[in-house]
Structure 1
Amino acid sequence: MGYPRKLTRRFRAFDNFAISFTIINIISGIFSSFGMGMNAGGPRILVFGWIGVSVMVLFVGAAMAEIASAYPTSGALYFSAGKLAKKHKGAWSWYTGWLNFVGQIGGTAATGYAAATFIQAYVSMQWSSYHPTLQQTVLITAGILVVQALANTYTVQLVAILNRISVWWLLVGMVIIVTTLIVVPDQHQSAGFVTHYANNTGFENAIYAGMLGLLVTSWTFTGFDGSFHMSEETVKATVNAPKGIVRAIGYSAVTGLLLMLALVYAIRDYGKEAGADAPPVQVLIDALGTGTAKMLLLIVIGAMLFCGLANMTSNTRQIFAFSRDGAMPGSRLWHSVSPRTRTPVKAVWLAAACSLVLVIPGWWSHVAFSAVVSVNVVGLFLAYAVPIFLRLRLGDAFQPGPWNLGRWGKPVAAIAVLWIVFSSVLFMLPQVSPIDATSFNYAPIALAVVLAIATVWWFATARRRFQGPVSYGRPDEVAAMDLI
């Protein structure tokens, strides 16, 4: 790929799959946004929306996996965009990298914020005198980001071990939660409850409100580009990275549907639970009792913390690669690698700091979580769309890697791009009515600010010096520069 090797290649096939499976994280994604779905469409959207969006995301993942097999580098999306573009390679690569950056930051921030919310829900159950506030949520999120940054500061082996643990935590945890929700409650909703519709968004248009509920599944299925970003640390990356992407999406779709159904059928008092501060927690309490609910909540919190850790790992690799090509302010700092741990330590702390900045509006905004989720979903999926679109435009001139879709490559890519365009427009729109300063969806502003900065910087200086991914020389020349 034209780069001297700086990162240790110690991720096995399972480790690569684990990073995306952990970032997708069905427990974290479903529990953190279940309340959003209860109020925007209800069980009908939660269940059937999960199935429909999962299929669409699988198209996106398969199209990305084909590209990952051809260009297995830490730069992932922005690198492949630069290689697939027929002309203006620098511009395509530049904007893809910045969209990927803001999307990754949004994912790390949203997962930390969700974990802080559920930690406070647990504390409130333990000590009734504790009352969560927006300010406390932001402060706890900051603490979580610091701990996750410290974990990512150490060796890649530690991250790999934690990701392996996280996979089993997710799978075993999912089995425990689903089994408990099936066996313990003395009653469940009727079979037809999955068609129940609810709209508490404030918007009168039922279709619009229901489509907003699709954000639940879309938010869960973000971050599978993590396998792509870890390519340079994965053995046999041209095969293991694309397999990691597709397997993570497929396994998450099936196990996530089981968890979603278990939660939906455990609902008792819909209005009370949908209006609670943490709706899925209230569902657990009403169906299982406080003691059992607290035990399951610990599983959920652990899953969220693992998810945030994996998010930050993927995030830092994108920052490392983007800086390696001189595309970020202070690039020399962010692509430096610790000689002791062989990890991009400075990039880790940049990711943590930027994630905290994105969470700060939560100090006063009660829709901060959904806004940060929108930043994550829209930023990442638009970054996914660019190389897929360029691969589609390239047609038969695209040179696939060992893992490819054959003649199905172009139709799969076309469906993926269409879905991303539709969902990105939807999730930038208002999500709650009436719209005021505390309920405004600031996702478009956050994305616009980042893109405005990228645009100004591009036309001011970057277009003259940034021509896309850097090549350090021929394979034999690069091998001679390898630092390991």
Structure 2
Amino acid sequence: MPPKLTAAEIEANDAARLNELGYKQELKRELGSFGNYGLALSVVCISSGLTSLFSYGLKTGGPVVMVWGWVVVACFTLCVALAMAEISSAYPTSGGLYWWAARLSSKKYAPATSWMTGWFNLIGQFAVTAGIMYGIALMIAATISIGTDGAWVPTVGATVGIHIALCVTEGIANSLGSRVMTTLNNFSTWWQVIAPAVIMITIVAKAPTHQAPKFVFTEFNNDSGWTNTAYVTVVGLLQAQFTLTGYDSSAHMSEETKNAEIAGPVGMTMAVIVSSLMGFLFIIAFLFCIQDFPNTVNTATGFPIMQIMVDCVGKVGAIVMMVMLIIACWQCGFASVAANSRMIYAFSRDGAMPGSQYWHKIDTKRQAPINAVWLSVFIAAILGLPALGNSTAFSAITSVATIGLYISYAVPIFAKIVNKKQFVRGPLHLGRFSDVIGAIAVLWICIITILFVLPPVYPIDAVSMNYSCLLVGLVLFGAGGSWVFSARHWFTGPVINLGNKEEGEVNLENDKKMFKTSDDLEEGADSKEGVKVSEVERVA
């Protein structure tokens, strides 16, 4: 048995491994295995996804699709998480997906795949953060309305105002430094499990009546306007897939995680497993406790979850439990901003964003990318504004979040399958199942990318249209256009930010010779702003 390493030795090993990947240690490693898992669990946050989209689930397929669709989505999502975890173990860096895409692609396509993966991941994270914040705003508005017995009816303007205010609170909390982040994250890790568990037990125990198992596991309900059962079923999977999203946050926090080669992939995988189990129980518990199905589906609050709790425990009890869920969702937003800001930090460190020189700066006192934090919350706040003109904006945001993130998940997994020899296993890997699980993950992502640009409601008009196809197209043409007309001339992939002395003391992935410095790229390479540039070499 190998000797147990001290904390100082683990930290030194983490820093050395990061040096091998081309980066110096700038962020403070405050997260352990439990903390990394907790942050990913908080971002996934079943309290947020299921509460916000419970109405959507009841109308697009109803109980049978919600229950069994969750099982199907959870199984395929676990395949995606396992495929990503394997890569994360090999390359623990905050860049995550776009870094992996560059590392695992051939020399010819590495810069382009890295660029597109990074932008899809970044836009997806912006949308996830915005979706979380807007969902909390809806929850708070509904809770106030119930508490005032309907005397206060939330307007769209009021909801957007709450959304913006919530974004500001998340920015402030994320600006307080790594110790505050660790403390909040530790609390959140337990709260994400305890709060839903307490609520589930309470409503099941207090419900006046319970639905029959036949209703929970077989009842199909379609209020979408579409007549094709199969179409409604697959569109109904969005509730589950949006909820089980964001676990890549474990990878983005790698440079702040101790023993990241193991803690990161374990955190990512465990977050999906625990969320899948808790989400399944959450759905079943609330379906069993529905008292009046039509009244629940068409509740004036817009939140069937709230209506079910009112019917089971009364107004006061429902408000208390709703506040418990809101706290869980706020913590979800906190973790999402943390992960989003680290992606901004890493992408800017490699010069890929406008104003990169501002976004990758580290506040030396708090050892956190404060500028990146506020960019994250600013974009999330702005993304709430379309709701002022279109009631389906929230649904579009959730679709974009799901599609954007999962496209960025697919690229490095596919690149690893195609370029097997370029992948060097980390401490944790899938062995002979690696290619099979990776292929299943990529296929599933292709399927959901098509499904979630489809319009969920009929007839289709300016309000009911699924604008996610337009938004995803804008990302594709925006990032693709900027690549064709500009970035291809200067973006060559991840950048080495080590000093000359540090660079001379480490082996920059010399097993695969991943990096070249600007001195090696004199012919045809354009080093932007004098920064050393790295390029991925094809492995013979």
**TM-score category by the smaller chain?**
over 0.9
The structure 1 residue matched to 2:153, chosen from 131, 152, 156, is: 131
- Tell me the distance in 2 between the aligned counterparts of 1:356 and 1:205: 37
1:301 aligned residue: 326
| Structure of larger gyration radius | 2
Query: 1:113·1:138 contact (CA, 8 Å) conserved in 2?
Result: yes
Q: Please report how far the alpha carbon of residue 186 of structure 1 lies from its aligned counterpart in structure 2 after TM superposition.
A: 2.1
- Tell me the distance in 1 between the aligned counterparts of 2:494 and 2:124: 20
Corresponding letter in the other structure for 2:445: I
Q: 1:19 to 1:473 in 2, by over 3 A?
A: same
- Tell me the distance in 1 between the aligned counterparts of 2:405 and 2:481: 21
Q: 1:426 to 1:433 in 2, by over 3 A?
A: same
Q: Please report how far the alpha carbon of residue 288 of structure 1 lies from its aligned counterpart in structure 2 after TM superposition.
A: 2.4
1:44 aligned residue: 64
TM-score (norm 1): 0.97
Query: 1:135·1:364 contact (CA, 8 Å) conserved in 2?
Result: no
Task: Output one character per residue of 1:94-126: Cα deviation in whole Å (capped at 9) or x when no partner.
Answer: 000000011000100000000000001110111
- Say yes or no: does 1:231 pair with 2:254: yes
Query: 1:66·1:404 contact (CA, 8 Å) conserved in 2?
Result: yes
2:99 aligned residue: 79
Q: Please report how far the alpha carbon of residue 172 of structure 1 lies from its aligned counterpart in structure 2 after TM superposition.
A: 1.3
The answer to which structure, 1 or 2, has the higher relative contact order (CA under 8 A, 6+ apart) is 1
1:259 aligned residue: 282
2:123 aligned residue: 102
- Tell me the distance in 2 between the aligned counterparts of 1:478 and 1:434: 61
The structure 1 residue matched to 2:316, chosen from 291, 299, 313, is: 291
1:312 aligned residue: 337
Within-5 A mapping of 1:157-168: 157-168=179-190
The structure 2 residue matched to 1:450, chosen from 460, 466, 475, is: 475
The structure 2 residue matched to 1:385, chosen from 404, 410, 426, is: 410
Corresponding letter in the other structure for 2:251: F
Q: Please report how far the alpha carbon of residue 197 of structure 1 lies from its aligned counterpart in structure 2 after TM superposition.
A: 0.2
Question: Structure 1 residues 450-459 or 289-298, which shifts more?
Answer: 450-459
Corresponding letter in the other structure for 2:409: Y
Q: Please report how far the alpha carbon of residue 238 of structure 1 lies from its aligned counterpart in structure 2 after TM superposition.
A: 0.5
- Say yes or no: does 1:10 pair with 2:30: yes
- Tell me the distance in 2 between the aligned counterparts of 1:458 and 1:190: 56
- Say yes or no: does 1:246 pair with 2:269: yes
Q: Please report how far the alpha carbon of residue 373 of structure 1 lies from its aligned counterpart in structure 2 after TM superposition.
A: 0.3
2:381 aligned residue: 356
Query: 2:83·2:434 contact (CA, 8 Å) conserved in 1?
Result: yes
Q: Please report how far the alpha carbon of residue 149 of structure 1 lies from its aligned counterpart in structure 2 after TM superposition.
A: 0.7
Cα RMSD for the two superposed structures: 1.5
The structure 1 residue matched to 2:362, chosen from 303, 323, 337, is: 337
- Tell me the distance in 2 between the aligned counterparts of 1:393 and 1:274: 46
- Tell me the distance in 2 between the aligned counterparts of 1:273 and 1:431: 20
Q: Please report how far the alpha carbon of residue 367 of structure 1 lies from its aligned counterpart in structure 2 after TM superposition.
A: 1.3
Query: 1:2·1:474 contact (CA, 8 Å) conserved in 2?
Result: no
- Say yes or no: does 1:62 pair with 2:89: no
The structure 1 residue matched to 2:137, chosen from 96, 109, 116, is: 116
- Tell me the distance in 2 between the aligned counterparts of 1:65 and 1:474: 30
Query: 1:201·1:209 contact (CA, 8 Å) conserved in 2?
Result: yes
- Secondary structure of 1:429's counterpart equals coil
Q: 1:479 to 1:65 in 2, by over 3 A?
A: farther
- Secondary structure of 2:295's counterpart equals helix
Task: Output one character per residue of 1:326-374: Cα deviation in whole Å (capped at 9) or x when no partner.
Answer: 0000000110111211111111111111112222111121112111100
Structure 2 gaps, min length 5: 1-20, 507-540
Task: Output one character per residue of 1:142-191: Cα deviation in whole Å (capped at 9) or x when no partner.
Answer: 00001101111121121121111111112111221111121101210011
Query: 2:238·2:452 contact (CA, 8 Å) conserved in 1?
Result: yes
The structure 2 residue matched to 1:418, chosen from 418, 443, 451, is: 443
- Tell me the distance in 2 between the aligned counterparts of 1:105 and 1:255: 25
- Secondary structure of 2:424's counterpart equals coil
- Tell me the distance in 2 between the aligned counterparts of 1:397 and 1:88: 14
Query: 1:3·1:478 contact (CA, 8 Å) conserved in 2?
Result: no
The structure 2 residue matched to 1:28, chosen from 30, 48, 70, is: 48
Equivalent residue pairs, number: 481
1:408 aligned residue: 433
Query: 2:38·2:186 contact (CA, 8 Å) conserved in 1?
Result: yes
Query: 1:4·1:478 contact (CA, 8 Å) conserved in 2?
Result: no
Corresponding letter in the other structure for 2:306: V
More helix by share: 1
- Tell me the distance in 1 between the aligned counterparts of 2:208 and 2:253: 46
The structure 2 residue matched to 1:91, chosen from 89, 112, 120, is: 112
Q: 1:393 to 1:476 in 2, by over 3 A?
A: farther
- Tell me the distance in 2 between the aligned counterparts of 1:19 and 1:476: 35
- Tell me the distance in 2 between the aligned counterparts of 1:79 and 1:397: 14
- Secondary structure of 2:496's counterpart equals coil
Within-5 A mapping of 1:458-477: 458-472=483-497, 477=502
- Tell me the distance in 2 between the aligned counterparts of 1:395 and 1:459: 28
- Tell me the distance in 2 between the aligned counterparts of 1:415 and 1:460: 35
Q: 1:135 to 1:480 in 2, by over 3 A?
A: farther
Q: Please report how far the alpha carbon of residue 453 of structure 1 lies from its aligned counterpart in structure 2 after TM superposition.
A: 2.1
1:269 aligned residue: 292
TM-score (norm 2): 0.87
- Secondary structure of 2:486's counterpart equals helix
Question: Structure 1 residues 445-454 or 67-76, which shifts more?
Answer: 445-454
Task: Output one character per residue of 1:295-352: Cα deviation in whole Å (capped at 9) or x when no partner.
Answer: 1111111111111111111000001000000000000011011121111111111111
